[in-house]
Amino acid sequence: MSSSPVLLWFRQDLRLSDNPAVAAAAQSGAPILALFILEEGSEDHRPLGSASRWWLHGSLDSLARDIANRGGRLLLRRGNPSRILPELLAHSGARSVLANQRFGAPGSADATLFESLRADGIAVRLFNGTLLHHPDALSTKGGTPFKVFTPFWKALSATLTGDLAPAAPLSAPERLEAPAPLPEGDTLEDWDLLPVHPDWAGGLRGHWTPGEGGARERLEAFLKGPVIRYGEGRDLPGQALTSRLSPHLRFGEISPNQVLTACRRVQRPGAAAFLREVGWRDFCHHLLHRNPDMADRPLRSEYTRFPWAEKEDAATALAAWTRGRTGYPIVDAGLRELWQTGWMHNRVRMIAASFLIKDLLVPWQEGERWFWDTLVDACPANNAAGWQWVAGCGADAAPFFRIFNPVTQSQKFDPKGLYLRRWLPELAALPDHALHAPWTASPLELTSAKVRLGETYPQPIVDHGQARVRALAALKSLSSSAV
């Protein structure tokens, strides 16, 4: 074994299997200085939200144990990579860095750092361990980036079959020997990633198992049953028919290639529809690659002039929305699910986002920031692209005038109220026909269900019909190019 180590930098790829950077490090025959940096002090890096910090703790703990079982050790450091990497390279004698690429603002910062390292004679090898296809390698026939998903998915799908198909997923190396002595590092406890006062993460612990093993178990469970009904069932929040793989993909505990391979192996009904959603994830990262500020600036520039509600009114509305106290059950149930589990069903995400943006006229960036803090799957690409999609200002977005009616959406996708009763127990005794709109219940029905509107459950904070008219008027005030 070579005495000079290689530096293996983990970022959004917290796994050992099907990780090309890990495989290259193991194949080098050199000791492996495995590193994770809790990035701070860089304007290009967005601090993780509270739920993501909780997940990161569990994911790193799992990764560290997996590396230790193979004879290695995961070094933890905190700070700016532009300072930490040169310091570790000098200290360890390593002359090469291996990593999987990132996209968006972190990717831009990486490019500057890696250029500097190369100028100092450090060999830098980068891999695609995050997406099905690198953003720079997929474009329209005219050579421009895709802005519409359907042709993007058609082009991406063509690269996933025949001679262009990805190679079989890589196995995890049997050994990952660490150099001796290993530089000193932090402990996970040093980072205070877990909530303490108060410890609000009980619901997260009850619903999730961060780490590569948890990702593998989640995929296997999905492919054994729920995937069969995924095509029609993914819109039904009251039934467990989605994969819930999103946080595992976000932290790179499983690769999209592993998901693709597993889905094709089982050939179950619903797998094709599910893989299309994996393709949407790639699409969002392609957008982020070229628009690093996507969480703040609309892709359609005319929407920077959108006339939102006055700041005081927007703040009051946002507070009610975040607490799940809007008076619209499907919206409130979604926000309660989010707060208690760190996750929200995708159909409900769209309904809740539409309500915040269009019924309440709160800027979409406020909702994006709340999701960023509370979602365990707060992906910089998917989260921002999803909010821009609902707001009508993103790529291939739903037009702004498509305003979800929270009552009819609830009746259509949760007709028996399974989802509503789970997250809004104060309304559980209402009959189905009144559950979706409690203000339509008769006095007898309210009394029998022990519901007191305005006390045990809020009255609607807006009238949807009036709010819809107001939203369309706001849209009309933009220039005709925004319509």
So which residues are the catalytic ones? 277, 280, 308, 346, 364, 387
For residues 430 and 449, the answer to whether their CB atoms sit within 8 Å is yes
Backbone φ and ψ for 123, nearest 5 degrees, come out as: -80, 125
Q: How far out from the chain centre does Cα 204 lie?
A: 15
Neighbours of 114 (CB within 10 A): 18
The two most distant CA atoms of the chain are separated, in Å, by 80
- The C-alpha atoms of residue 55 and residue 75 are separated, in whole angstroms, by 18
Backbone φ and ψ for 10, nearest 5 degrees, come out as: -80, 140
Q: Token pair of 86, please?
A: 């040169």
Distances (CA, A) of 180 to 1, 4, 30, 35, 457: 13, 10, 12, 15, 62
